[in-house]
Amino acid sequence: MITQSLVARPSVFPIFSFDHHCQASVQFSTLNCRFERARRKLKVTRLKASFWDSIRSGFLKENSTQVVEPPSTLQEEEEPLPEEFILVENTKPDGEVEQIIFSSGGDVDVYDLQALCDKVGWPRRPLPKLAAALKNSYMVVTLHSIRKSPGSEGIDQKMLIGMARATSDHAFNATIWDVLVDPNYQGQGLGKALIEKLIRALLQRDIGNITLFADSQVVEFYRNLGFQPDPEGIKGMFWYPKY
């Protein structure tokens, strides 16, 4: 059996069974308490107003202590800067110097890319869509051929000879697309170097789940670079419009 304790609520005006002197004393004390509560309430209100005024000015008025925002404990990790370096350098019999420059800066001219796609026999794609694909890629890496004549200080010719790009969720996954190398430069290990540098750049950004889509004739090329079909079975599926 559960017994409930009943507590009587005090009335708003307490009833006292004292004499007149006590009653007067009690009434005076009650008024004193009410006045003290009102005074404290007013003091708290003033303190609150003073506090927010001091916050707005950046200082506490009473002790002249400057209000300083605490430093954020969450520090964003800086992503590695784009790379650009000489991958290969050759000197021709006539003294002309050719350098193959690798870059992860994503500097690609859409007309140069379209010309490179034509060389490898890819179907043409609308330039606005090509530009949008480059812009929305997580990373674009390129190979450029730079030729310099003997005694020349400037660049005589700069040509896009290779490119690959990757899309990503910026956290865990990345997918490699559009890997192409100029046919005149194929068979020199440039495609392998392009993919390896792209993978390294993704790993530097802590993205370790890397996938790609490859045509059947180049599956062995990617297998030699460490890619393998999904050991748990094919999970990728494609949807194509039926019109």
Task: Evaluate whether residue 189 is within a structural domain.
Answer: yes
pLDDT at position 227: 93
Q: Give the C-alpha separation, 169 to 137, whole Å.
A: 10
Tell me: the pLDDT tens digits for 87-117? 999 998 888 999 999 999 998 999 999 999 9
Concerning whether 222 is annotated as a catalytic residue, the answer is yes
Classify residue 65: in a domain, yes or no.
no
Placement of tokens 């789940």 in the chain = 209
pLDDT above 90 (res 48): no
The tokens for 233 are 């079975």
End-to-end CA distance of the chain: 78
As a whole number of angstroms, the distance between CA 202 and CA 137 comes to 13
The answer to whether residue 160 is domain-embedded is yes
Whole-number pLDDT of residue 65 = 44
With contact defined as beta carbons under 8 Å apart, do 97 and 66 qualify? no
- Domain annotation covers residue 96: yes
Task: List the Cα angle 122/125/127 in 5-degree steps.
Answer: 130
Nearest Cα neighbor of 103 from 165, 192, 156, 147 is 165
Average pLDDT (5-32) is 40
Q: pLDDT digits over 168-184, tens only?
A: 999 999 999 999 999 99
For residue 138, tell me if it sits in a domain.
yes
Range of the domain at 202: 83-226
Question: Residue 231: inside a domain, yes or no?
Answer: no
Q: Find out whether 213 and 178 touch, Cβ atoms under 8 Å.
A: no
| Residue of 111, 222, 240, 243 with catalytic role | 222
**In Å, how far are 89, 96, 121 from 125, measured between CA atoms?**
33, 35, 12
| pTM score | 0.66
Q: Is residue 233 part of a domain?
A: no
Helix (H) or strand (E) holding 23: helix 20-57
Distance of CA 75 to the CA centre of its chain: 12
Average pLDDT over residues 187-192: 96
Q: What is the CATH number of the domain that holds 162?
A: 3.40.630.30
Asked whether residue 128 is assigned to any structural domain, the reply reads: yes
Higher pLDDT among residues 128 and 74, named by residue: 128
Work out how many domains the chain is built from and give that number.
1
Question: What average pLDDT does the chain have?
Answer: 77
Residue range 140-152, pLDDT digits in tens: 999 999 999 887 7
Q: 170: part of which helix (H) or strand (E)?
A: none
Contact 164, 194 (CB under 8 A): yes
Helix (H, G, I), strand (E, B) or coil at 100: strand
